[in-house]
Amino acid sequence: MQTLEQQRQQTKTAAIVASVLWVLTTILGIFTIIYTRLIILRTYIRFVPDGANALSLFNIIIVLVMAAFFIAIVIGGVEYHRTRYGSPQSWRVFATVLALEIGIVLLPLFL
């Protein structure tokens, strides 16, 4: 049986781990935007080589859309973890998000 002090220490440790993971997913999310933009622009140039004049506008639109999506995910993630803190669902979401972001960051290496 755990004492109250041990439970408090576990709660503090879990809060620190969750905070570090949240910051890590936020940083990886920024890299995900960069690499996804790179993939989209490479694909655009391959299929529309004459469209290089529109590349600057296309780049701006991609970044704006992905940044809005990223902000929504960060805010939604904070709210999700705030309400389900310490539950297995919360840790499962962390693992899924990290796996997806690492996969997207590594994707340009294989294309």
pLDDT in tens, 1-60: 678 777 788 778 877 887 888 888 888 888 888 888 888 888 888 888 777 777 788 888
Give a yes or no: residue 1 inside a domain: no
Please check whether residue 111 is in contact with residue 42, taking contact to mean a CB–CB distance below 8 angstroms. yes
Give a yes or no: residue 6 inside a domain: no
Give a yes or no: residue 46 inside a domain: yes
Q: What is the pTM of this model?
A: 0.69
DSSP state of 86: T
pLDDT in tens, 60-97: 888 889 889 888 888 887 788 778 877 888 888 888 88
Which of 65, 70, 78 is closest to 30 using CA atoms? 70
Give a yes or no: residue 21 inside a domain: yes
Give a yes or no: residue 97 inside a domain: yes
Give a yes or no: residue 44 inside a domain: yes
Give a yes or no: residue 84 inside a domain: yes
- The count of domains in the chain is 1
Residue 49: domain span? 13-110
Give a yes or no: residue 93 inside a domain: yes
Amino acid type, 55 = L
